[in-house]
């Protein structure tokens, strides 16, 4: 932990939220977290390292009050770098001692760290929190070194498991952070086992939901519709879902599948559907706003999350949409990848099948489609779990304690188990 004099009593809390790109259509959990923190009284300033690349935004984004600052990213010239250094030298006494750190990262990251440090001074930010232990944490960590303001970050999945992760870099970030949050007990155990004492400050805080936005309804009498939502990438396992649906249709079962999402595998998955003769069975909706996703999931008899570990090591941490389905009363079939078994507990809150096993996936989907009583029993217990462990307002209070240094990682882990 950083010394307590980084939290002077006469300086009100003001948290800089450092994100690679804001807003990002696929990162609803960040908007959920920001809204919950604001509802808890936190003053936030969002700092984005990139400008958004698509024009699709979820309706809840309009409720965010925090101002957004976009740091320069493209079009930097040598003159811009020297001007930034010159301006920072007058404002940041720690700059000479940090030159080695700045020179060790790409020039864009270094310039953004200097700009963020100046913003910390200009706006009176008392804390920096980044999402993902990659470039956002790189910039936040450097700005922390330049200003003395502590930083924390949330580690999710790609930033932990992907083959591109540099262990020495992540270890340095873990060790230097005032605290680190991760989204599942699986991640927590992996980080502590892999990084030893560097990961002593890591704690698990689940991604929370604004539960009133996800009202429970009984799935007992819903039509035979399977919903699946996510980016069309390898780790989501949607190719296995298509194979499972082909098996169900081949057995003479009538069902409909609503697949929501877009991504690099869209063409491949559409070709797969054509080859299997399933274009009338599986509706590809593309990306949809939260409200429409919520409607589709809440009307489905089953939600499928057949996640897999990608060839590059990438995997899901704990998909937010899985939590949303459980809150809405839609029983889930999923695979035991990373943190998923912490919420989809076999036979209690959902059904688990091995990853990359379309036969077992088809059997589990068929079982739930056939048995309204089982759907209801699983759904009721899943909603109870969501209310007990995934209330976003409770998670926001835990995060504020972490940001303020008022509790330790071990305190929170002990309290959560």
Amino acid 417: pLDDT: 39
Gap between the Cα atoms of 250 and 239, Å rounded: 17
β-strand pairing of 44-50 with 127-131: unpaired
Amino acid 60: pLDDT: 85
DSSP state letter for 4: G
H helices of 92-166, in order, are 95-103, 107-123, 135-147, 158-161
pLDDT of 147 over the 50 cut:
yes
Q: Which of 163, 165, 216, 209 is nearest to 183 (CA)?
A: 209
Task: State the residue for tokens 């959902």.
Answer: 350
Q: For residue range 103-128, what is the model confidence (pLDDT) as tens digits?
A: 999 999 999 999 999 999 999 999 99
pLDDT of 360 over the 80 cut:
yes
Can you tell me the mean pLDDT for 397-405? 92
Q: For residue range 172-185, what is the model confidence (pLDDT) as tens digits?
A: 999 999 999 999 99
Amino acid 257: pLDDT: 98
pLDDT of 283 over the 50 cut:
yes
Gap between the Cα atoms of 224 and 138, Å rounded: 47
Strand partners, 228: 259
Gap between the Cα atoms of 359 and 44, Å rounded: 48
Gap between the Cα atoms of 315 and 231, Å rounded: 12
Q: Which of 114, 113, 123 is nearest to 88 (CA)?
A: 114
- Annotate 22-69 with DSSP letters as a single string: SS-TT-HHHHHHHHHHHHTT--EEEEEEE---SS---GGGGG--S-EE
DSSP state letter for 209: B
Q: How far is CA 394 from CA 39, 65, 144, in A?
A: 11, 20, 27
Q: Which of 369, 316, 377, 320 is nearest to 350 (CA)?
A: 377
Question: Is the distance from CB of 201 to CB of 409 less than 8 angstroms?
Answer: yes
Gap between the Cα atoms of 175 and 1, Å rounded: 10
Can you tell me the mean pLDDT for 333-352? 98
Task: State the residue for tokens 């300086």.
Answer: 11
Q: For residue range 231-275, what is the model confidence (pLDDT) as tens digits?
A: 999 999 999 999 999 999 999 999 999 999 999 999 999 999 999
DSSP state letter for 342: G
β-strand pairing of 302-305 with 225-229: parallel
CA 58 to chain centre: 15
Which of 7-21, 144-158, 287-301 is least confident? 7-21
Can you tell me the mean pLDDT for 292-321? 96
Name the helix (H) or strand (E) containing 270: helix 266-275
**In order of start, what are the domains of the chain with their CATH numbers?**
4-208+391-416 (3.40.50.2000), 211-389 (3.40.50.2000)
Gap between the Cα atoms of 92 and 227, Å rounded: 52
Mean residue pLDDT across the chain: 93
Phi–psi pair at 160, nearest 5 degrees: -110, -45
Q: How far apart are the first and last CA of the chain?
A: 23
Residue 406 — pLDDT band, cuts 50, 70, 90? low
Task: State the residue for tokens 């070709």.
Answer: 271
Can you tell me the mean pLDDT for 317-343? 97
pLDDT of 5 over the 60 cut:
no
Q: What angle in degrees, to the nearest 10, is found between the helix axes of 95-103 and 78-91?
A: 150
Which of 50-59, 92-101, 110-119, 374-383 is least confident? 50-59
Can you tell me the mean pLDDT for 57-75? 89
pLDDT of 7 over the 90 cut:
no
- What is the pTM (predicted TM-score) of this model? 0.91
pLDDT of 408 over the 50 cut:
no
Q: Which of 359, 287, 368, 298 is nearest to 328 (CA)?
A: 298
Q: Provide the token pair at 230.
A: 């996510």
Can you tell me the mean pLDDT for 147-175? 97
pLDDT of 2 over the 50 cut:
no
Q: Which residue has the higher pLDDT, 414 or 60?
A: 60
Q: Is 407 exposed, middle or buried (0-12, 13-18, 19+ CB in 10 A)?
A: middle
Amino acid 75: pLDDT: 83
Phi–psi pair at 16, nearest 5 degrees: -90, 120
């Amino acid at each position: 932990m950083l010394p307590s004099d980084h939290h002077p009593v006469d300086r009100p809390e003001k948290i800089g939220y450092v994100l690679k790109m804001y807003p990002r259509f696929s990162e609803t959990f960040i908007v959920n977290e920001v809204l919950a923190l604001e509802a808890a009284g936190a003053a936030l300033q969002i700092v984005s390292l990139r400008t958004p690349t698509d024009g699709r935004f979820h309706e809840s984004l309009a409720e965010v009050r925090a101002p957004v600052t976009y740091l320069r990213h493209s079009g930097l010239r040598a003159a811009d770098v020297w001007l930034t250094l010159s301006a920072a030298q007058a404002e940041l006494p720690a700059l000479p001692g940090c030159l080695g750190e700045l020179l060790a990262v790409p020039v864009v990251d270094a310039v953004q760290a200097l700009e963020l440090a100046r913003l910390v001074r200009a706006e009176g930010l008392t804390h920096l929190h980044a999402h993902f232990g990659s470039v956002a944490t790189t910039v936040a960590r450097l700005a922390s070194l330049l200003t003395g303001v502590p930083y924390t970050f949330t580690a999710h999945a790609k930033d932990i498991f992907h083959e591109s992760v540099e262990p020495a870099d992540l270890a340095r970030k873990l060790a230097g952070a005032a605290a680190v949050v991760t989204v599942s007990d699986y991640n927590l155990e992996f980080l502590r086992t892999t990084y030893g004492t560097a990961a002593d400050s890591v704690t698990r805080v689940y991604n929370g939901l604004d539960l009133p936005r996800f009202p429970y309804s009984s799935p007992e009498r819903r039509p035979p519709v399977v919903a699946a939502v996510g980016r069309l990438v390898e780790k989501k396992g949607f190719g296995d879902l298509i194979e499972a649906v082909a098996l169900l249709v081949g057995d003479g079962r009538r069902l409909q599948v609503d697949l929501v999402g877009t991504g690099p595998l869209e063409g491949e998955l559409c070709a797969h559907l054509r080859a299997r003769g399933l274009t009338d069975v599986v509706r590809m909706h593309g990306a949809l706003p939260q409200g429409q996703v919520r409607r589709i999931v809440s009307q489905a008899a089953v939600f499928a999350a057949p996640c897999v570990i990608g060839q590059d090591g990438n995997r899901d941490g704990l998909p937010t949409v899985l939590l949303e389905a459980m809150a809405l009363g839609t029983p889930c079939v999923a695979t035991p990848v990373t943190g998923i078994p912490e919420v989809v507990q076999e036979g209690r809150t959902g059904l688990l099948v091995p990853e990359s096993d379309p036969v077992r996936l088809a059997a589990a989907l068929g079982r739930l489609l056939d048995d309204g009583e089982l759907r209801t029993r699983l759904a009721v217990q899943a909603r109870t779990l969501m209310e007990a462990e995934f209330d976003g307002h409770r998670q926001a209070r835990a995060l504020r304690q972490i940001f303020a240094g008022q509790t330790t990682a071990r305190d929170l882990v002990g309290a959560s188990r």
